[in-house]
Chains A and B, each alone.
Chain A
Amino acid sequence: DVKVTQSSRYLVKRTGEKVFLECVQDMDHENMFWYRQDPGLGLRLIYFSYDVKMKEKGDIPEGYSVSREKKERFSLILESASTNQTSMYLCASSLRVGSGNTIYFGEGSWLTVV
């Protein structure tokens, strides 16, 4: 059973703070993703990575960065948190080769920026 684990389920941070969201998967997946979920806007891709130290911008990368130093771990970084980054963040992973590979999601991290 694939497991994608997000270390923090609920966080409250102050405006301007640096925020780290951590994600670990245990299935040796090459691809990892960070999505943001807001009501009525669906799942919007922030960044993804297809290999260690590799990253690609998604649709809404502004205000975020990522780090992938190990294959199983993908971190989302908010350099200076702002209130408009209050949201639910979902990490996901999948095998790389070809299309049609199932994406597995973590449980999500609820971030509130005050």
Chain B
Amino acid sequence: GENVEQHPSTLSVQEGDSAVIKCTYSDSASNYFPWYKQELGKRPQLIIDIRSNVGEKKDQRIAVTLNKTAKHFSLHITETQPEDSAVYFCAATYRGSTLGRLYFGRGTQLTVWP
């Protein structure tokens, strides 16, 4: 099956700085890459996703980039705010995946200091 690696496991930034989280995947057939945010004590929720026919996608302060050749994708958060503090999970799925199963990275704990 697919293998997703996520780095770093923890990330601390000053409010207003940018944060970047990187993920790599193993299966070149993967074609959908969502990112989930989990605030403390809450459920993971989808914040942005990208499909393999697109290289970059933006939504206000967050963006995701995809490099299919290198098999990696990244989450970029600009002008970070304390409410961005959370655990972020990347994931991948591929055409052969059993009925839409996602393969998750191990998560990145992002802390934004005021």
Contacts and interface: CB of A to CB of B under 8 A. Distances in A.
Contacts of B80: none
Nearest to B92: A99
A43 B44 contact: yes
B100 A42 contact: no
Interface of A: 4, 30-31, 33, 40-43, 45, 48, 50, 56, 58, 90, 94-96, 98-103, 105-108
A12 to B, nearest CB: 18
A100 B44 contact: no
B109 to A, nearest CB: 9
B101 A45 contact: yes
Give the bracket for the number of chain B residues in contact with chain A. Answer: 20 to 34
Interface centre among A4, A101, A103, A106 (most CB of B within 10 A): A103
Contact of B93 (A58, A99, A107): A99
Interface in B1-60: 6, 9, 31-32, 34, 36, 42-46, 49, 51
B67 interface: no
Contacts of B51: 100
Given A99-B31, A100-B31, A100-B32, A42 B101 contact: no
A31 B99 contact: yes
A94 B100 contact: yes
Contacts of A107: 42-43
B42 A100 contact: no
A107 B39 CA distance: 11
